[in-house]
Structure 1
Amino acid sequence: MAIHGTAVIHPTAAIDDGAEIGPDCHIGPYAVIGNEVTLKRGVTIKSHAVVTGWTEIGEETVIWPFATVGEVPQDLKYKGERTRLVVGARCRIREGATLNTGTEGGGGLTQVGDDCLIMTGAHVGHDSIIGNRVILVNNVAIAGHCHIGDDVIVGGLSGVHQWVRIGQGAIIGAVTMVAQDVIPYGLVQAPRGELDGLNLVGLKRRGVPRDEITQLRAAYQMLAQGEGSFQERAGRLADDFDSPHVREIADFIRGETDRSYLTPKGAK
């Protein structure tokens, strides 16, 4: 066990031998810290939270009561192999959230980026990769092997099917099931997940220039109404638009995936 001298630990907390507790960490009453856990500088573990497994928690992250971070995957193929969970800096993991380690078959790593907010009761499944500044609202369920890009918001009570990719800057409405890949900056809503436009509010909040947004809207219209198949339209985006945001959409659609794509609502 390695506990930095500036760490503040409640006497009722249970910390296993082998845990590494960094400077300025705070561990509350009845919290449980496993023997392969590393807490970086300034981490706060509130009362009754559990951090276990081969897990690393980044600087200044806060974990609220009754969250369970680093438990084994909810996968019947898991046979006890040593796999990892890495959580970035300044994340907020709220009450009752669950984050699992990876599986050998899925690469062995579950990862959450920096500055994420994982709200009450949300779940991050094994081998999922979550980007930076992602918000998972109350009771969101991210299944195994998902890839969630930077700045994505997933609305409350929504579910994301295993192996789905959600591109950067997309937003998923509340009570939505997402079973297909979502393009960057897409807006998805309805119970079975329909691509219903672009996340224009998010683009404006992030200061994306107006001319870039104009090009994105035109590119979306091409995906919805242009000639040829969806993949053929996507292949023309990079040639027809001089926009890094549009190129990101084109590259995303041409990337490797195990799922099909959500296509624009009403597309030909």
Structure 2
Amino acid sequence: MSAATLVHPLSVVESGARLGERVKIGPFCHVGADVILEDDVELFSHVSIVGATTVGAGTRVFPQAALGGLPQNAKHKGGRTTLSIGKNCTIREGVTMHTGTDTSRGETVVGDNGNFLAYTHVAHDCIVGKNATFANGATLAGHCEIGDNVIIGGLTAVHQFARIGDNAFLSGCSAIPGDVIPFGIARGNLAKLRGLNIIGMKRSGLSRAEIHAARRAYRAVFDRSRPISENLTAATVEFANFPAAMKIIDFLKSREKRYFLTPALDDDDGDEDADAAA
């Protein structure tokens, strides 16, 4: 512990915990013996961090967050598993994130620059990419894989083992029962695809040509006149020179027998405004 690290006298930091430089720990916090807090981490108050948990540099954790708890999985046998939280994350009030399961992946991983609003939950064995935004009450079941730049609306729940592709947008109060393609917008209970997240694609720097190709690929892949397997084969050839379109196609080709979201029957292929769909 460096001289610049501040620990409030009403907090408990167990022997063995490793604290970086300029760490700040407010009152009534509990930091377990197997915890690593990297440089410039700040715990405001009433924060519990236990288990084999690493919190990346610059991350801020607000009151009542509970990080590194045992997985809510009956198959866990009690072995050492981990939770790794990236740099510069914001973890707001009441957020929970659990370690992995020793009969499964064994680790839960959260990428850099995540913004987890109040009462969000990241379950055991999940992988969350960079720049994630989880609005209040967003929930992941176990074993989910969340890509980069994903936005999950408030009170939305994602089914266990689901994959959410890069730059996808999950609207608030939705139930996500399966995989969501990169750039997809999903909405409803049970959710269906509602076009592509065009605003997110523009923000990520994609060119107009790439965006138009991705929209054409979306329509081609989900053309109901043929099986999706045939559509994917044809689309692989047609859109081979368009990386954004191929990201969607490759995501679906790698699905094996997984359940994935498809467009609603009343979908007119129009893309929603992701900001308005929150």
Q: TM-score, structure 2 length as denominator?
A: 0.92
> Which one of 186, 189, 206 corresponds to residue 208 of structure 1?
206
Q: 1:77-133 deviations in whole A, cap 9, x for unaligned? A: 222111000000000010000000000122100000000011100000000000000
Q: What is the rounded CA distance, in whole Å, between the counterparts of 1:70 and 1:199 in structure 2?
A: 33
User: 2:8 corresponds to which letter in structure 1?
Assistant: H
Contact map agreement 1:37 1:54 (CA 8 A) in 2: yes
Contact map agreement 1:223 1:264 (CA 8 A) in 2: no
Aligned CA-pair RMSD: 1.3
Which residue of 2 is the match for residue 26 of structure 1?
24
Q: 1:51-91 deviations in whole A, cap 9, x for unaligned? A: 11000010100110000000001111222111000000000
> Which one of 76, 81, 85 corresponds to residue 83 of structure 2?
85
Which residue of 2 is the match for residue 63 of structure 1?
61
1:207, CA displacement in angstroms?
2.2
Contact map agreement 2:108 2:127 (CA 8 A) in 1: yes
Corresponding residue SS for 1:69 = strand
1:256, CA displacement in angstroms?
4.5
Corresponding residue SS for 1:264 = coil
Q: What is the rounded CA distance, in whole Å, between the counterparts of 2:174 and 2:238 in structure 1?
A: 32
Q: What is the rounded CA distance, in whole Å, between the counterparts of 1:72 and 1:206 in structure 2?
A: 36
Q: What is the rounded CA distance, in whole Å, between the counterparts of 2:130 and 2:146 in structure 1?
A: 9
> Which one of 118, 134, 156 corresponds to residue 120 of structure 1?
118
1:4, CA displacement in angstroms?
2.1
Q: What is the rounded CA distance, in whole Å, between the counterparts of 1:85 and 1:133 in structure 2?
A: 18
1:169 aligns with 2:167: yes
Contact map agreement 1:227 1:233 (CA 8 A) in 2: no
Q: 1:221-267 deviations in whole A, cap 9, x for unaligned? A: 10222652113212332210121111111111122456311112238
1:73 aligns with 2:71: yes
Q: What is the rounded CA distance, in whole Å, between the counterparts of 2:224 and 2:231 in structure 1?
A: 6
Contact map agreement 1:238 1:246 (CA 8 A) in 2: no
1:13, CA displacement in angstroms?
1.0
Contact map agreement 2:95 2:116 (CA 8 A) in 1: yes
1:261 aligns with 2:254: no
Unaligned runs of 5+ in 1: none
Q: TM-score, structure 1 length as denominator?
A: 0.96
Q: 1:23-60 deviations in whole A, cap 9, x for unaligned? A: 01110101110000001110001100111100001010
Contact map agreement 2:167 2:197 (CA 8 A) in 1: yes
Could you list the structure 1 runs, at least 4 aligned residues long, displaced by more than 3 angstroms after superposition: none
Q: What is the rounded CA distance, in whole Å, between the counterparts of 1:71 and 1:196 in structure 2?
A: 36
Contact map agreement 1:164 1:258 (CA 8 A) in 2: no
Corresponding residue SS for 1:104 = coil
Q: How does 1:212-251 map to 2 (within 5 A)?
A: 212-225=210-223, 227-241=225-239, 242-251=241-250
User: 1:251 corresponds to which letter in structure 2?
Assistant: D
Percentage identity across aligned positions? 37
